[in-house]
Amino acid sequence: MKKLIIAAALGAAAFAVQAKDIVETAVAAGNFKTLAVALQAAGLVDTLKGKGPFTVFAPTDAAFAKIPKADLDALLKDKAKLTAVLTYHVVPGAVMAKDVKAGKVKTVQGSELTIGTMGGVTVDAAKVTATDIVASNGVIHVIDSVVLPK
């Protein structure tokens, strides 16, 4: 009986670890602090904590650091523009790395991202540096630059 209780507790703990949504998963990773601040400023936290599924091409803090500070500060204060930029990084559905194909893909923002697969995967001009970070409501692929809608 004691072994069964321990096994059940371990199983529940493993499930709890895997049950994080996209926002919680990104925050726990530790290298998406700027993205988390931007999601909060745009009012998109609840959306990305929602049912989904979503595929998020998530720029790291280093990717956001490539944007001049004055430009980033201005973007964080312009909710409409910030929302457009952030939703341009999100695609409906959960697309795993093995299912990625070169071409155009429509974003939640409404514009299309260009996916490239020659010499590694790219999203517009950004390189995908890590893939298939699974969350309870989708998947995160890490990119090295912030991409902007046309």
User: Which of 8, 16, 78 has its CA nearest to residue 41?
Assistant: 78
Q: How far apart are CA 101 and CA 95, in angstroms?
A: 10
What CATH number does domain 21-143 carry, 1.10.1040.10, 2.30.180.10, 2.60.40.1290, 2.60.120.260? Answer: 2.30.180.10
The residue with tokens 């994080």 is 20
What is the DSSP code (8-state) at residue 93?
S
Instruction: Give the pair of three-digit tokens for residue 147.
Output: 């991409």
Q: Any idea where the domains of the chain sit in the sequence?
A: 21-143
Q: How far apart are CA 31 and CA 49, in angstroms?
A: 18
Residue length, the chain? 150
Instruction: Give the pair of three-digit tokens for residue 62.
Output: 């280093």
Provide the residue-wise pLDDT of the chain in tens; the chain has 150 residues.
544 444 444 444 444 445 799 999 999 999 999 999 999 999 999 999 999 999 999 999 999 999 999 999 999 999 999 999 999 999 999 999 999 999 999 999 999 999 999 989 999 989 999 999 999 999 999 999 999 998
CB 136 within 8 A of CB 23: no
Question: What is the Cα 52 distance to its own chain's centre?
Answer: 12
